[in-house]
Amino acid sequence: MAKTAEQIRGDLLRPVFESGAGYWLGVGIAGSMVLAGVFAFSYQVYHGLGVWGLNWPVFWAFDITNFVFWIGISHAGTLISAILRLANAGWRRPVTRCAEAITVFALSIGAIIPICHLGRPWLFYWLVPYPNERHIWPNFRSPLLWDFFAILTYLTGSTIFLFLPIIPDAAAARDLTRGWRKKLYAVLSLGWQGNPKQWHRLESAMHIMAIAIIPVAVSVHTIVSWDFAMTPVPMWHSTIFGPYFVTGAIFSGVAALILAMAFLRKFLHLEEYLEPIHFDNLGKLLLTMSLLWFYFTFAERLTTWYGNDVSEMNVFWTSIRQNFAPLFWTMVVCNLIIPFPLLAIKKLRTITGTCIASATIVIGMWIERFLIIVPALEHKFLPYAWGTYRPTWVEDTLMVAGFGMMGLLYLLFSKLVPMISMWEMEAGVRKAPLVRRPAVRFEPGGATAKARVADPEPFATDVSR
Amino acid sequence: MPHKWAMVIDLDRCTGCEACVVACHAENNIATAGPDQAARGRAKHWIRVERSWEGEFPNARVRFQPVLCQQCDDAPCEPVCPTYASYHTPEGLNAQVYNRCIGTRFCANACPYTVRFLNFYNPQWDKPLNLQLNPDVSVRSVGIMEKCTFCVQRIRAAEIQAEGEKRELKDGEFNPACVQSCAPKAMVFGDLNDPNSEVSRLARSGRSTKLLAELGTKPNVTYLQQDSWQNGKNG
């Protein structure tokens, strides 16, 4: 890639400043999905949780499925970005920003769902440990409280991790814009001047965050799995759940990342930045995760089968042979049978191929979470207390709203920050140290005019080699 | 010495009349769900009578087992509650503090006996049931969990009465509604810390079993039966 810094900035900032009708259509669709969710939630709060399909004994279903699903999606971004940064993989550069954004947004959605699912959602803050008029602390033995802290930590960490590399880009945008955007970028850039001391600090901070975020990410989905594994429910009470969930999370997260990248590539016209090599590399990672997922699923099922515990076998057979068999085998097809050839055969590991595989995996992993939760709750120990579950329109709408919210946040974010880190792309195309100057003034609505600004750094290198 | 409240249910005596279920509803202000909601699995019965059939027709027999909160010593519902709504009292009761409950329903999932119930809607009573609400028991609002309390309001009332009269509680002085209403006297309630109480005596019986004992929840409800129907032998 022989693009100059000016070209890179022009290419990457153009979609930030210019929006077509398609963009607003997208915002409209995603926004209506979110509004539908707001309506459904209000309806639920007004009437009570009975408007959901939950019953005795299925007290969790779509709600927690979606919770685990979105927390899982959030595991691609920051984790992959951190690993690729630490490994100093050159091809990471156009991938990291959109991956980190997925994490922050998916995690936000994942964090909202457990609040909506409460019987009394307006009291969710009772999970926060603060000196209160109730004279009681939250119960630190409860996995839900661990969830609360793990998700909060991960959300804070990944927001910082997303924000740090935005600083230089925000400074560049600040120097190129006027009006409210200039004010906004002035705040976001935290007074960034681009001097060597600042670069040094930025890189140290990013390095620290990249290392710190990996154990946090692993802990988050382990703790999510413990919401199930810490209870004596058949097929939940399992030591394999921690790593099984982490694997599933990264699996679905990488799939979501590939889909998001393909989307950005098409609609923001980033063909020259998000190249087939990126999809190829992520496709290999997805293949690895697919096989790992199958390994865990196989190990879990086989040990349960050989264990032959009465209560566990009820859940086992209901998901493999009986009511849930269609869903179970759809999951296997979606997570292994379709993706495996698409990702294993080099000729098929194209952008289209990886996208098809990713789409089926996202569906398959949603089903996986549903199959972990519902069959087990339907068939606990006492057959007298067995039940069945069917969702209502309220749960369906809230689920759709989750996807709408992801789309909406992503679309809005793409108008504030370039979806590919400009300075990292620039750093990728030249050998000189990371010292740069503001060089391009952007004229909203027009072409990118080049107006050189006096260079504050005496040793700044010429980037247009 | 603190009390340790426990119950013994003699399955060989139970006739499955469900008087305990009705008494429990009346005593504890348990709202009826109505046929439509009940069909959707929203019925609330703090105590239920499970039926199971043994043998093949015509040599079939039905066995009844009243199942209520087992008031476990190691209750799976307690550690999972983030707000201490599910709480172990010093007397070993498995309390549900309604005002603390935010409705995560984690306790209901964790309970292997499935004896916890969510208020899916605000409770309503068809007339004239609204006139028989028990003033000693709070009515639970939408979104919170509820379950058998061993009629804690009766326990408290008796304890306060005895304390006022400066005497010890007598065995059998009071009973939960289900025990009180059990015509064949299949249910016995009392203090397990008193070795001479009837409940202690019966709990030591050779017929005693615990429901799902293998889970290690240490229930305070003991079932008596001649031979375990789970073994497939007709007692």
Q: Which residues of A touch B112 (CB under 8 A)?
A: 232-233, 380-382
pLDDT for the residue numbered A451: 41
**Spatial separation of the C-alpha atoms in residues B102 and A413, rounded to whole Å:** 34
From first CA to last CA, the distance across chain B in angstroms is: 38
| Record: fold of A5-19+54-130+138-390+415-437 | Formate dehydrogenase/DMSO reductase fold (1.20.1630)
Cβ contacts of A118 on chain B, cutoff 8 Å: 102-104, 143
Contact B102 A124 (CB under 8 A): yes
Predicted confidence at residue A176, as pLDDT, reads 85
Predicted local distance difference test score (pLDDT) of residue B203: 93
B122: containing domain: 5-231
Q: How far is A156 from chain B (nearest CA, A)?
A: 22
Q: Identify the CATH number of the domain in which residue B175 sits.
A: 3.30.70.20
With an 8 Å Cβ cutoff, is B223 touching chain A? Answer: no
d(CA A48, CA B42): 13
Burial class from Cβ neighbours inside 10 Å (0-12, 13-18, 19+) for residue A301 reads: middle
- Min Cα–Cα distance to chain B from A303, Å: 19
pLDDT number for residue A79: 83
- According to DSSP, the β-strands at B5-10 and B221-224 are parallel
* Token pair for A116: 């909506």
The nearest CA of chain A is from the CA of B78 a distance in Å of 9
Say how many domains are in chain B.
1
Using the beta-carbon criterion (under 8 Å), do B143 and A231 form an inter-chain contact?
Answer: no
| Tens of pLDDT, residues B37-80 | 999 999 999 999 999 888 788 888 888 999 999 999 999 999 99
Strand (E) or helix (H) holding B66 = strand B61-68
Within 10 angstroms of residue A2's Cβ, the number of other Cβ atoms is 7
- Residue-wise pLDDT for B86-131, tens only, equals 999 988 899 999 999 999 999 999 999 999 999 999 998 888 888 8
- In chain B, which residues have their Cβ closer than 8 Å to the Cβ of A380? 112, 114
Nearest-Cα residue of chain B relative to residue A387: B41
Q: Look at B144 and A148 and tell me if their CB atoms are within 8 Å.
A: no
Q: Where are the domains of chain A?
A: 5-19+54-130+138-390+415-437
B5 contact A CB<8A? no
Query: Across-strand partners of A441?
Result: A449
Confidence of residue B231 (pLDDT cuts 50, 70, 90): low
What are the mean pLDDT values of chain A's consecutive 10-residue runs (465 residues total)? 75 83 93 97 95 94 96 88 84 87 94 94 93 90 94 94 92 87 90 90 91 92 95 94 95 94 88 88 94 96 94 94 94 96 93 95 96 95 93 96 95 90 78 48 49 42 40
Contact B103 A49 (CB under 8 A): yes
Q: Which residues of A241-260 are buried (b: 16+ CB within 10 A; e: fewer)?
A: bbebbbbbbbbbbbbbbbbb
Identify the closest residue of chain A to B144 by CA–CA distance: A119
